[in-house]
């Protein structure tokens, strides 16, 4: 196992509460499938989508914003286009206990990544939590 895989494995082992930003109520969307997978794998998953705030979808209660989460969050898993990541990361960095900002496949934002790293928050870009969990811990 290379060092990058060891780091990903550590992140996925240490981060037990995950906020999924850009969660979709549509079961065909990747964000929905990943959130369900992570919940079934034993993580505490908090879906974030202002259009579905307060609704229970797939057994999970959706919140409207990261700032609406009333408990510590270990990881913010981002399903947003790269150009929309910076404000999400800025808000995420206000959360107590944040350990990791994870940007999904195809999502990269150098400014957001640098901001998170400057606050000692681990950053993963352009990777899928479901794929990496299944590969490394599944």
What are the tens digits of pLDDT across the range 87-121? 999 999 999 999 999 999 999 999 999 999 999 99
As a residue count, the chain comes to 138
In tens, the pLDDT along 43-88 reads 999 999 999 999 999 999 999 999 999 999 999 999 999 999 999 9
Could you tell me the pLDDT band of residue 18, with boundaries at 50, 70 and 90? very high
Number of domains within the chain:
1
Domain that holds residue 78: 3-136
Helix and strand numbers (H, E) in the chain are: 5, 7
Contact predicate 88/109, CB 8 Å: no
Closest CA to 74 of 128, 122, 38: 122
Flag whether pLDDT at 28 surpasses 80. yes
pLDDT reported for residue 138: 84
List, in sequence order, every residue forming a beta bridge with 21; answer none if it has no partner: 48, 78
Closest CA to 89 of 64, 60, 118: 118
Closest CA to 124 of 83, 85, 68: 85
Closest CA to 128 of 138, 119, 118: 138
pLDDT reported for residue 1: 73
Give mean pLDDT, residues 31-52. 97
Handedness of CA 85, 120, 64, 20 (dihedral sign): positive
**Between vectors from CA 124 to CA 71 and to CA 14, what angle results, nearest 5°?**
45
Q: How far apart are CA 79 and CA 22, in angstroms?
A: 5
The CATH number assigned to the domain holding 132 equals 3.40.50.720
Q: How far apart are CA 133 and CA 111, in angstroms?
A: 26
């Amino acid at each position: 196992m290379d060092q990058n895989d060891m780091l990903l494995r550590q992140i996925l082992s240490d981060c037990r509460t995950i906020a999924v930003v850009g969660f979709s109520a549509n079961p065909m969307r990747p964000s929905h499938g990943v959130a369900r997978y992570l919940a079934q794998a034993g993580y505490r998953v908090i879906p974030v989508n202002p259009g579905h705030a307060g609704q229970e979808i797939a057994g999970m209660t959706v919140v409207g914003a990261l700032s609406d989460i009333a408990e510590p969050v270990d990881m913010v898993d981002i399903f947003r286009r790269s150009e929309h990541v910076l404000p999400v990361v800025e808000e995420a960095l206000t959360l107590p206990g944040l350990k990791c900002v994870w940007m999904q496949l195809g999502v990269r934002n150098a400014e957001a990544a640098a901001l998170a790293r400057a606050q000692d928050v681990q950053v993963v870009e352009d990777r899928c939590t479901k794929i990496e969990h299944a590969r490394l811990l599944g």
